[in-house]
A and B are shown apart, each in its own frame.
Chain A
Amino acid sequence: MFIKFLDHDLRYGIGRAKKRLIVTFIMFFFLSIYHFWTLRIFELTDPQYLESPVTTADYFLALIGGCGKVNLISGAENDFVMPTMWFVFVLWMQFTSLYYPFAELNGIGKQLMVLSGSRGNWWLSKCVWTIINTITNYLIVFAASTIAGLCFGAKPSMQANWYVSRELYMKVDDLTSSTTWNIWSVFLMTGFTMIVLALVQLILSLILKPVQSYFVLAGYLFAGAYIQNPVFFGNYAMGARNALLVSTGLTMPFGILLGIWLAVLSIGIGYFVFQYRDILGSDLS
């Protein structure tokens, strides 16, 4: 029964959402191109940055890197620059998995649940759908930035050059390398964080309704952009705050443990709440 639910979700929630997937690709392809613009400036101001070849990893890191740690000192110049590009990325990723589960529930989902006689399978199927949908969208973002890089002459590689740190407002003294970083682990950690946040959004949607949950999650993510702390889990999706890149960054093992705990908690609480909540008589849109 679970497989049938999942098959239905994948077909309708991803297979028939081609328009959304195309929009994701176009959006992030064009956002990635801005890195090329910045490189043209660096050619004039700091040509030494470009001594080693520009890679596709530079494009990807510039897109999803966020911003370095902010020093919150009263009476000092505010050095915080809003990582708007990163917000477009995370809020879009959350948006892509926001409405399908509950739109389906208010449509055919209720009938399917009654016919199958299993609420648990419905919920677990939506959790797995959320994970697969997030991975799909994340891979599209990665493909978009990689293709944008290749179009502008970048070398296909996951070795990101250190000069990207300037674009991400990272402090030079804190960098762990003065040449390159292999960003495979940053790539995986960012994807993992997106999955966990999508699952948290799913349980919040069940408790608060999807519209309100998006507001709460957006506020949580904005607070995290200002405060570098594991409590604000969105920090793990910022390459610029990863311990691989900066000595003051957040370590991945703890992030993975915290993420697994959050994901299991979200799925578990959702499973429990879903069993006892009046789903059939309420409007969760």
Chain B
Amino acid sequence: MKSLRHFLQNELYNLFHSKSFLFVLLILLLIVTADDILAYKSYKDNLQLTLTTVDLQADGTFAEYPFLQIYTLYNSWIGGRANETLPMVFFYTMPVFVVIPYSWSYLAEEKNGYDRIMASQLGKASYFLGKYVSTFLSGALTVLLPMLFSFLLASCLVPAYRPDINFALYYQVSATKLLGNLYYAHPLCTAFLNMLMIGIFAGAWATIPLALSFFEKNKFVVLFAPYLVLLYIIASLQKASVYRSFTETSVLNYIWMTSSSSNQSIVVYTIMTVSLILLPLAIVLERGKNADVY
């Protein structure tokens, strides 16, 4: 197991030093920073409006109820912003950018023969398990780092007022969402749970090209065909269920808390997530066991 740990360390070192990862991270950091600045502007405009329109009493408190909670930390970080462009770009391009840094690494190693060296040193099962774990981590980290940065930056700029159910329209989080009820009771906990859900999805999605690379050797097909298939499935289910069912079927709407989604079902979400994790894992381990690497 010590070798596997070293292998994982080495894989993560390679990830953090790859140009693709740094490129994607740079673009995502630009997106989340721009989004946080826009969120701060909205907060500041609302604060100035409140200070000019609501009178202060002698003791320094507001004479009327100030609508300050409409902009809080929890709807100012990228995962909590509603009705905005950049969060939509972030969430809907996620299946594209999480695969760019490392999902094709097995294909590259297969081409240059590195897989044979590692498989003979570690054993096939350990090598392919290590490959799955490192690819999962690459996807999860690609999305978690910018989100944590966004959360920290937003918490420096916007106060963490507890979300008020009376302003639910500003948060776009209703009881129909998976984390809808928790959001108003424990917003910080909800934000981190949401990050965890997003991280799991990103990690699991990054492993799909790894599983596909046993069957297809074209890098572009391996990286992007799953995304097109996902969009195809979402479009099909959306069209097939229109006026017939109100249960949300898009996995992207489940992980994006403020999406304009229908009723979210814990059963549907669990089935989708478990399938996303287990199917690629089973393929990687099974095909890896029989792979002709030595």
Contacts and interface: CB of A to CB of B under 8 A. Distances in A.
Nearest to A72: B83
Contacts of B266: none
B215 to A, nearest CB: 14
Interface stretch (A51-59, A91-99, A133-141, A270-278): A91-99
Interface stretch (B84-92, B123-131, B195-203, B274-282): B84-92
A31 B27 CA distance: 33
Contact of B96 (A31, A81, A215, A285): A215
Task: Please classify the interface of chain A as helix (H, G, I), strand (E, B), loop, or mixed, using the class held by over half of its residues.
Answer: helix
Contacts of A75: 70, 167, 169-170
Nearest to A99: B220
Given A27-B232, A88-B232, A211 B85 contact: no
Interface residues of B, number: 45
Interface string A73-85: 1111111111011
Contact of A211 (B27, B219, B231, B234): B219
B220 A91 contact: no
B42 interface: yes
Given A81-B260, A84-B234, A211 B228 contact: no
Contacts of A103: 218, 220
Contact of A212 (B82, B86, B100, B218): B100
Interface string A93-133: 00100110001000000000000000000000000000000
A214 interface: yes
Nearest to A227: B85
Interface string B147-188: 000000000000000000001011010000000000000000
B240 A34 contact: yes
A279 B27 CA distance: 25
24 contacts: A31-B235, A34-B240, A41-B243, A74-B83, A75-B170, A76-B169, A78-B260, A82-B92, A84-B234, A85-B235, A87-B92, A88-B231, A88-B232, A95-B220, A95-B224, A95-B228, A208-B23, A211-B219, A211-B220, A215-B24, A215-B96, A216-B27, A218-B96, A219-B93
